[in-house]
Structure 1
Amino acid sequence: MHKIINVILSGGVGSRLWPLSRKHRPKQYLNIFGDKSLFQLTAIRNINLCDNLIVIGNTDNFELSSEALKEINIDRYGQIIEASPRNTAAAIAFAAFSADRDDILLITPSDHLIEDEDEYERSVNEAINLAKKDSIVTFGLIPTKPETGFGYIQVKGNNVLGFREKPNKETAQEFILNGNFLWNSGMFCFKAGIFLEELKKYQPDVYAKSEIAFNAKNGDSLPLEESMDIPSISVDYAVMEKTDRLKVVKSNFKWSDMGSFESLYNYLKINGHSTDEHGNMVIGTNIHTEFLGIKKSILVVTHDAILVLKREKAQKVKDIYETIENQKLK
């Protein structure tokens, strides 16, 4: 009988949450969302919905994943350690190669905050039922605002009409008014064999070279030389935007990819973190702070860096991270 396997994609450095999120401890492992990290919450959320767990990590973070799972008493799981991340198409292919053909994979990023467990469970069960019929399923979230930090899916019923990149404010507002656009959650569900068929059909080079790297792995670890031959492409571009098997589950649970300080601000404020009368917030220090002549701003303090930003510029923090990365100052 087929198994349902939660595949947690644990890569990424959370560059839009610098300086809180760093390469040595990315946002998914930070305990700033209560007493558990986003990675731990992801594992806990899916443990009763799935039979097995596989973590796709890399040489920089697999020990963080193991430590996080140990803290929540999960000791039965598989892991695949990438020598060099090659984006989500290859990462998911590795999980599919490790499973039986009819196993159903529930692909979940490790850095999403999800609330409303009953609605989440309903959505996952709907996706599993569609996957049993050989569909490739994506999860679309009903938007609550004209968000410019997310991609969108244009839908009609369970059918996907198209994918749209992160829009500007005006386009996002048009999407909301249209009523047939959903946020692209980056979560998927499908049979391992069906995914591999579609990957082989649309990206044969990614399929072939991922298979070579997978077959050459040493224990849990993939080899560097063979991994570097794999084209780096997202699963959206590789499969989702091309396959004719695609279905969408329209979901209404509370969701955020926690990809920016604006998202973190909203979460912290709802949970009682203080702001001043002008909507300014301090994160990371209890030192008394005053904002003079500044509105809707965030002060972020760590032991070795300070960031001051307007909330509306939250998506631009990635540019600072990349500049520091290039200058080797991080």
Structure 2
Amino acid sequence: MENKNSITHVILTGGVGSRLWPLSRKSQPKQYLDIFNGKSLFEMTVDRNRNIADKVMVVGNIDNCHLSKKVLEKSNTSYIDIIESTPRNTAAAIAFAAFASDPDDILVVTPSDHIIDEMQDYEQAINEAVDKASNGYIVTFGIVPTKPETGYGYIERKGDDVISFREKPNQVSARDFIAKGNFLWNSGMFCFKAGVLLEELKAFTPEVYEKSKLAWENNSSGNLDLALSMDIPSISIDYAVMERSKKIKVVSSKFGWSDLGSFESVYDYLITIGHPVDENGNMVIGTNNYTAFIGVQDTIFVHTDTANLILKKEFSQDVKNVYNALEREKSDLLN
């Protein structure tokens, strides 16, 4: 449907993807890896929203803004660049995007590292969200779950009203959610008028609002000052606004979606595009060298020049522990 408001696609690219180490590093986070059909997830995110938005805005950080630039220049896309000097979680990142916009601009906020299929369903969901956003609601996108996934947060809803947001559940709760039938995966995508989001942020977490505003007002061509940024509380938009505001609506969406947050979800996705596995479900990522698996099944071998990872697929959430241990040692292997 025609919308009179300007629509901006805001891409959040701050994440490091610690559960995809060693593929994902600080110098080359997962959204820039070319392992998904020869295009990076970031590039796919830009492409899929081209015909939806009038403007593109990228909220990144000093470590990765040059990687975003390379992708956007390749396709000749002009964009508004917001460069964080230090990660301050999604509340601040989204606040910067809203401060950089006119209050009536509609922002469609998406992470840069998700896989989305069934574009017709996706565009329908976006149109529905833009419609609700025009009427002053803050819209979150919930995905109809296909399995009791424990790696995602959930949205409990009645129609398009949100009853509650739930953290990542354990296996028992996840099965319970699926059985109840009114729970959706929380996709981490949002749509709202910039001014409405800022009003709600100011009402519920005034400190994030004030300190983000100060940092934004002192930006130098999109670059944010480190000292001012450090003052901003590091909290998620879910906690800052979504779980508190009375203006939240949810669009229930059926498009294929994965946040590729773990090697298990990467494995599932790679299988759908024909990536080879052996007869015991073992997979190699990152090398074409002949690799034989003996006596193991559902095992993933991840190869990079400086580090290898071997894991059973169902333990993919535990990769974070390796990452955290290396971080404590200040290891070069994270860079």
TM-score grouping bracket, smaller chain normalisation: over 0.9
Alignment coverage as a number of residue pairs: 329
Query: How far apart are 1:68 and its partner, in Å?
Result: 1.2
Residue 293 of structure 1 and its aligned partner are, at CA, apart by 1.4
The runs of at least 4 aligned residues of structure 1 exceeding 6 Å deviation read none
State the partner residue of 2:92. 90
Residue in 2 aligned with 1:164? 166
> What is the alpha-carbon distance in structure 2 between the residues aligned to residue 101 and residue 289 of structure 1?
55
TM (norm. structure 1) is 0.98
The one-letter code sitting in structure 1 at the alignment partner of 2:32 is: Y
Cα deviations by residue, 1:15-42 (Å, 9 ceiling, x for unpaired): 1111100000000001111121110111
1:22 is matched with 25
TM-superposed CA distance for 1:85, in Å, is 1.2
State the alpha-carbon separation in 1 of the partners of residues 264 and 130 from structure 2.
33
C-alpha separation in 2, matches of 1:175 and 1:266: 22
Aligned with residue 227 of structure 2, among 206, 214, 225: 225
Work out the CA distance in 2 between the residues paired with 1:2 and 1:140: 24
Cα distance in 2 for partners of 1:282, 1:41 equals 23
In structure 1, the residue matched to 2:39 is: 36
- What is the correspondence of 1:236-255 to structure 2 with a 5 Å cutoff? 236-255=238-257
Q: Hey, what does 1:113 align to over in structure 2? A: 115
Does residue 193 (structure 1) correspond to residue 199 (structure 2)? The answer is no
- Matching residue of 2:15: 12
> Are residues 1:208 and 2:210 paired?
yes
Structure 2, unaligned stretches of length 5 or more? Answer: none
- Match for 1:35: what amino acid? G
CA distance in 2, matches of 1:147, 1:6: 28
Q: CA deviation at 1:272?
A: 1.1
- What secondary structure is seen at the aligned counterpart in 1 of 2:202? helix
Inter-partner Cα distance in structure 2 for 1:278 and 1:171: 30
Q: Aligned residue for 2:154?
A: 152
Structure 2: how far apart are the matches of 1:287 and 1:209?
51
**In the alignment, which of 54, 58, 81 is matched to residue 51 of structure 1?**
54
Deviation of the 1:265 alpha carbon: 0.5
* TM-score (normalised: structure 2): 0.97
Q: The residue matched to 1:47 in structure 2 has which SS?
A: coil
Indicate the percent of aligned positions where both proteins have the same amino acid: 58
SS in structure 1 of the partner of residue 315 of structure 2: helix
Give the equivalent residue in structure 2 for 1:273. 275
TM-aligned CA deviation for residue 315 of structure 1 = 0.8
Compute the displacement of 1:8 (Å): 0.3
Deviation for aligned residue 1:72: 2.4
Following the alignment from structure 1 to structure 2, what is the Cα–Cα distance between the partners of residues 219 and 69? Answer: 18
Measured on the aligned residues, the alpha-carbon RMSD in Å equals 0.8
Where in structure 1 are there 5+ consecutive unaligned residues?
A: none
